[in-house]
Amino acid sequence: MNEIPFMKRQPTLLFALIVLVCSFAYGQTNQPAERFTANAVSLSPEYGTGQRIVEITVDRWSANAEREQLVAALQQKGSDELLKQLQKTKPVGRIRTPDSLGYDLHYADQQRDADGGRTIVIATDRPIGFWEATNRPRSIDYPFTVIQMKLDRDGTGKGTLSYATRITAKNNVIELEDFASQPIMLNNIKSEPKNATK
């Protein structure tokens, strides 16, 4: 698997909390495949500063049973078990940049908002290269990539991409801790059917 951003090694603080038990189901498994493009802007030295285009494809949305299985793994056995179960889950899509092959995504969920827009959460295990696996720096404890997108009813919006993240659970809350000082910003997100002609 190809890494997308260049990642340096430096820990950071908690950046987000999301509710673990919220339900994102509204017939999502029947939703069509989608392609999202965004201008990814990194201001964090851990990821390398700069910007590039990111393409995220969602071929299918995670079923409720998959979500419940992952939640149970995290709550009952912790982050290591979540990682193991996530890796076993059938891919839901892929993330790539123009100069990389990208890597598979294993979880994609969406919630219809009151204003007609959507909140989308995507998670996967991230690529870990030979150096990182061999030397096991602190970044090895941040094995997840988490993407959060807020789209309006027209399918445009913004979001964040936390390339190296630690996920833990306490009671009914998921805690996300980013390895970098701040996540990669996803600006000018646009959604279209995956098979749309460009």
Q: Enumerate the domain spans of the chain.
A: 14-191
pLDDT tens per residue, range 34-78: 999 999 998 887 777 889 999 999 999 999 899 889 989 998 999
76 Cβ partners below 8 Å, 6+ apart? none
Answer whether 90's CB lies under 8 Å from 178's CB.
no
pTM check: above 0.85? no
Which residues of the chain carry a pLDDT beneath 70?
1-30, 172, 196-198
**φ/ψ (deg, to 5) at 140:** -65, -20
